[in-house]
Amino acid sequence: MLIVLEGLDGTGKSTQVELLKKAGWKSLRFPNYERVPIIKRFLAGEVSLDERSAFLFFLGDIYEGVKSLKELEKHSSNNNAPNTVIDRYIFSTIAYAHTLPIEDAMEIVKRIDFPKPDAVIYLSLSVEEALERRKKANAKQKEGLSIREAKESLEETEKRYERLFTEGFWAKEWYQVDASKSVEDIHNEIVSFIGWLQGKQ
C-alpha cells in the first residue's frame, strides 16, 4: 500500500510519518535536499528561481525517486509489498507553484505519469495556526521562515490543495483529517482510515 501525507507546513505530516514508521511502515520524503541542493537554497532565499523552474526542479527530484515507487505500484495488489508512506509528493509541488496555473501543473504531472498512491491523507489546518506552529518550530531550530511560509503564500497554497482534494486528483482515494486535533487523535484516525482502505483491497 502506498499512502501520501499532504498539507501545509506545520500540519504535523512528519510526526505522523514517524508514528507509522514505528508501526513498520517504510517511508520516503520529498524534497531530497542532498539530491537537488538548489531546492534548499531556493527555499532559504539564497538563490532566485523562476517559479516554473522551481516547479521542474521539485518534480525532477520526485522523478528520481519514481523507480522504487513504480515497483511498489506494480506490486500494489501483492500482500507482500511493503507498506510505504510518503511525506510530500507531487501534490505539494502543484500546490506551492503559485505562478503556474493549476490546470497546467496538473497536466504536466499527468503526462509524466507519476505513480498514483492508494490514498492521499490531507492534513487540514488554518493558515494562522499552521504559520504559528512553523514560527515556533523554526525558533527552536534557530531558522527563519522559508520564502513559501508567508501568510499570503500559504493562503494561496491552501486554495490549491483544496482544489486537488475536491477533484480527487491523481490518487485512488483522498481523505481529509483535521490537523488541529492532538497528535494521538490524528494518528488513530489515520490508522482507522488505513484499516478501512485495506479492507477494500
Residues 159 and 146: beta-carbon distance below 8 Å:
no
**Residues 74-84: tens digit of each pLDDT:** 655 555 678 99
Q: What is the spatial distance between Cα 201 and Cα 192, in angstroms, rounded to a whole number?
A: 15
pLDDT value for 76: 54
Q: Is the peptide bond before 31 cis (omega within 30 degrees of 0)?
A: yes
**Residues 15-33: tens digit of each pLDDT:** 999 999 999 999 999 999 9
Q: Whose CA is closest to 153, among 96, 90, 115, 107?
A: 96
**Residues 94-119: tens digit of each pLDDT:** 999 999 999 999 999 999 989 999 99
Provide CATH code, domain 2-200.
Answer: 3.40.50.300
Q: What is the spatial distance between Cα 51 and Cα 155, in angstroms, rounded to a whole number?
A: 17
pLDDT value for 147: 60
Which set of grid coordinates corresponds to residue 122?
490531507
The pTM of the full predicted model, rounded to 2 decimals, is 0.91
Residues 51 and 125: beta-carbon distance below 8 Å:
no
Residues of the chain with pLDDT under 70: 68-80, 141-145, 147
The values of phi and psi at residue 28, to 5°, are -130, 150
Q: What is the spatial distance between Cα 3 and Cα 26, in angstroms, rounded to a whole number?
A: 10
pLDDT value for 139: 76
Q: What is the spatial distance between Cα 58 and Cα 36, in angstroms, rounded to a whole number?
A: 8
**Cross-strand pairs, 29:** 87
Question: Can you give the residue ranges of every domain in the chain?
Answer: 2-200
pLDDT value for 192: 98
pLDDT value for 71: 64
pLDDT value for 150: 84
